[in-house]
Amino acid sequence: MSLFLHIFLFTLLILHALPATTTAATATGGHGYGDRQVLTLKNLKWTQQKTSTTNCFPQRSRTEKNAIILELHNRDYCYGTRSHWNQRLQKHLLSDQIRVHSLQSRIKILLSNGFSQELSQAQIPLESGAKLQTLNYIVAVRLGSRNVTLIVDTGSDLTWVQCNPCFSCYNQQEPLFNPIQSPSYKPILCKSTTCDDLASATGSSGVCGFNSSTCNYYVSYGDGSYTRGDLANDNLVLGTTLVKDFVFGCGRDNDGLFGGVSGLMGLGRSALSVVSQTYGVFEGVFSYCLPSVTDDGSGSLILGDGTSLYKNFTPFSYTNLISNTMMPTFYFLNLTGISIGGVSLQDSSFGKNEMLIDSGTVITRLKPTVYNALKTEFLKQFSGYPKAPAFSILDTCFNLSAYKEIDVPTMKMHFGMDATHSVDVTGIFYFAKADASQVCLAIAGLSGEEEIGIIGNYQQKNTRVVYNTKASTLGFAKETCSLD
């Protein structure tokens, strides 16, 4: 009976916004562990939120100096159902695992033979992934005559939307983009340099369509998700900045892990990405601050140098972006170390391997040896708390339901040029159970040493991450993410 009541009340213990959290580092002499921070577990009543507001508009955006600021939301904010906490999280982690598989398989193919027409479609059957929600961040922009909500993806280049008439489209919340209703829409010819750029942007060359004046594109995300259609130009409005003749994909056949959004915004590094296409205006600089997922808080995506707009409360720490000609799309960093509570982990791969930073992967993945070292050190410093069973890909879990406050070791990632990224305290634990009876270390190991580590968005929360493709640097600074 009491169990029933408990569930009925949906008493929710979650790690809440920063104000409830102090990040004071308290040196605890005796054990030699330096940095710790206090995490307050706040008791909240779970309220069933209204589900699926039709879309994310009206949405706040503004232009200041040479930068534009777009409001950034977690996808759940606009389209999510707020019920079934546990089920939702299971799905999030499963779809995250599918994304990581797909990234790894894309990387493997790129490293083996440059690019391939047929990226492995089959790692995971499409059905298992197609209906899952994603834990991605979305942004709203204007394309032609239509407002569109797009997933923000730093791991790919081509921006695309589902297009009318559609051969096969997944369900989306907004009406389909309709080229006929947009006088500024122009198909791109198949004999053009823009069409040729598809090969490096997507891994698949553009081909002439039935109508030889159109360039057909195909992007496979490696997990069975794909989009296929016509390459086209139209006006893109980012905030109040007009980008004329923006190149994008008009998707006539699309399926995969895109939830109910209209498409995807590619913020990768090659010629067709938003970053490259707006180079003349924003000089290859963009940044984001991702709000914490359990909040309805909104973060921001800033295109252009927004130095005067950032609200960081720690100085920026810059590292170099590493270019890999085999994988021109991706943003690679030089991971030189990780420290837990001020204790540096030891691993021979530090300083020798590239690590990907990605806005679309949720949970950070580390090479198995690095992950094991991290887990061991974390357990040593976070001892005395009762253990709980593993949850999905997360194998280090605790039952914290009896605690109001916990003392968590800090987590820092170190990069080339002596840069440091301090993971926000909200990015250390993943609350698998709403009552805190299963709270897991929010990092996972990769399945093999040869795989590439990925810094996921969960560990980038409440941080201003600035990508500067012109200077080839990436900066981290602490910021409480909200648009105001």
Quote the least distance from Cβ 416 to ligand NAG, whole Å. 4
Please report, as a single letter, which amino acid is at residue 102: S
Q: Which is nearer to ligand NAG, 282 or 391 (CB)?
A: 391
Angle (nearest 5°) at CA 304 between 299 and 305:
95
| Catalytic residue list | 153, 358
Contact code string over 59-88 relative to ligand NAG, x by CB under 6 A: x-----------------------------
- Nearest CA to 432 among 71, 93, 35, 41? 93
Report the residue from 38, 208, 322, 471 that binds ligand NAG according to the rule CB under 6 A: 322
Beta bridge partners of 38: 22, 407
| Residue found by looking up tokens 């991971």 in the block | 335
Q: Which is nearer to ligand NAG, 34 or 209 (CB)?
A: 209
| Residue found by looking up tokens 């589900």 in the block | 51
- DSSP of 68-135: EEEEEEEHHHHH---S-HHHHHHHHHHHHHHHHHHHHHHHHHHHHHS--SS----SS-HHHHHT----
Q: Which is nearer to ligand NAG, 96 or 435 (CB)?
A: 435
Q: Are strands 67-74 and 61-64 parallel, antiparallel or unpaired?
A: antiparallel
Buried b (16+ CB within 10 A) or exposed e, 246-279: bbbbbbbebbbbbbbbbbbbbbbbbbbbbbbbbe
Half-sphere exposure of 156 (CA within 13 A, CB side): 31
Quote the least distance from Cβ 257 to ligand NAG, whole Å. 26
Assess 187 for contact with ligand NAG (CB under 6 A). yes
Q: Which is nearer to ligand NAG, 90 or 401 (CB)?
A: 401
Contact code string over 127-156 relative to ligand NAG, x by CB under 6 A: --------------------x---------
* Rounded-to-10 torsion of CA 341, 379, 294, 311: 10
Assess 273 for contact with ligand NAG (CB under 6 A). no
Quote the least distance from Cβ 449 to ligand NAG, whole Å. 18
Angle (nearest 5°) at CA 154 between 310 and 351:
85
Assess 402 for contact with ligand NAG (CB under 6 A). yes
Please tell me whether the peptide bond between 368 and the residue prior to it is cis, using omega within 30 degrees of 0: no
Report the residue from 9, 26, 52, 57 that binds ligand NAG according to the rule CB under 6 A: 57
Quote the least distance from Cβ 212 to ligand NAG, whole Å. 8
Report the residue from 276, 287, 437, 459 that binds ligand NAG according to the rule CB under 6 A: 437
Q: Which is nearer to ligand NAG, 283 or 407 (CB)?
A: 407
Assess 237 for contact with ligand NAG (CB under 6 A). no
Size, binding site for ligand NAG by CB under 6 A: 17
Which one of 57-65, 128-136, 293-301, 376-384 is the stretch in contact with ligand NAG (CB under 6 A)? Answer: 57-65
Which one of 101-109, 123-131, 207-215, 270-278 is the stretch in contact with ligand NAG (CB under 6 A)? Answer: 207-215
103 with 220: CB under 8 angstroms?
A: no
Quote the least distance from Cβ 319 to ligand NAG, whole Å. 9
Please report, as a single letter, which amino acid is at residue 248: F
Euclidean distance between CA atoms 96 and 78, whole angstroms: 19
Which one of 52-60, 78-86, 234-242, 244-252 is the stretch in contact with ligand NAG (CB under 6 A)? Answer: 52-60
Report the residue from 23, 311, 416, 471 that binds ligand NAG according to the rule CB under 6 A: 416
In the complex, the residues that contact ligand NAG under the rule CB under 6 A are 57-59, 147, 187, 211, 213-214, 322, 334, 336, 351, 399, 401-402, 416, 437
